[in-house]
Structure formats: structure tokens, C-alpha cells
Amino acid sequence: MFDFEKLTVYTKAKVFNKSVTNFLKKSKVDSTTKGQLRRASFSIMLNIAEGSGRFTKPDKRNFYVIARGSAFECVAIFDYLKDSELIDEKTFDAYYTSLEEISKMLYALIRGLEK
């Protein structure tokens, strides 16, 4: 088993990414926004995995910071989709809550790796 597979935040990021992928298959979102959301949600997962494999604390921390930034990017995209009336408030709230939890977990990992 790889280290990242033991991280709860990785599991949550994986579930989030799958949910986004399913949402995008059915949505009427334009292709540019779809691509950006797909990449940002995938980036959360991948940067957690890559960071867990690094040897130094600063190196690990950097990848977790990038993953957290991608979570913020997803929030902004969902905010745009809500304002554009491409998703309803309930859908927005569900994604927002999931991203908020992932962000907090990443923040805890980042803080734990500070000097």
C-alpha cells in the first residue's frame, strides 16, 4: 500500500473527483469550464499522492499547498456555475461542503509540516 492511500483526505479527494466526473458527464457546462474543473479536481487528488511520496517536509508541504489551491479553484468554478444558473443552490452547497472539508484537512497536513 502506498502512503497516500492511508490518508483520509486522499480518499475524500478521490470521491470528490469521481463526483465531479459524473456531474460533468451530464452537465450543460461549456467545454472550457468542464476541462478546467476536471483538471482542478484531479489535481487535488494527484498532488496529495505526489506530496506523500516526497522525502522532505518542505517538498511534501509544497504539493499539499498546490492541492489546496486546486480545491479553492474548484470552489470558484462552482461559484461561477451557480451564478450562471448552471447548478442550483443545493448542488453548489454539496460541493462547497466537500471542498471545505478537504481544504481544512489539507491545511492541517500543511501546518503539521511547518518548521
Report the CATH number at residue 53. 1.20.1440.60
- Structural domain including 72 reads 31-112
- Does residue 69 lie in a domain region? yes
- Does residue 56 lie in a domain region? yes
Domains of the chain: total: 1
DSSP readout, 3-38?
GGGG-HHHHHHHHHHHHHHHHHHH----HHHHHHHH
- Does residue 7 lie in a domain region? no
- Does residue 35 lie in a domain region? yes
- Kindly report the pTM of this predicted structure: 0.95
- Does residue 10 lie in a domain region? no
- Does residue 108 lie in a domain region? yes
pLDDT in tens, the chain (115 residues): 999 999 999 999 999 999 999 999 999 999 999 999 999 999 999 999 999 999 999 999 999 999 999 999 999 999 999 999 999 999 999 999 999 999 999 999 999 998 6
Q: Name residue 110's amino acid.
A: I
Whole-number pLDDT of residue 89: 97
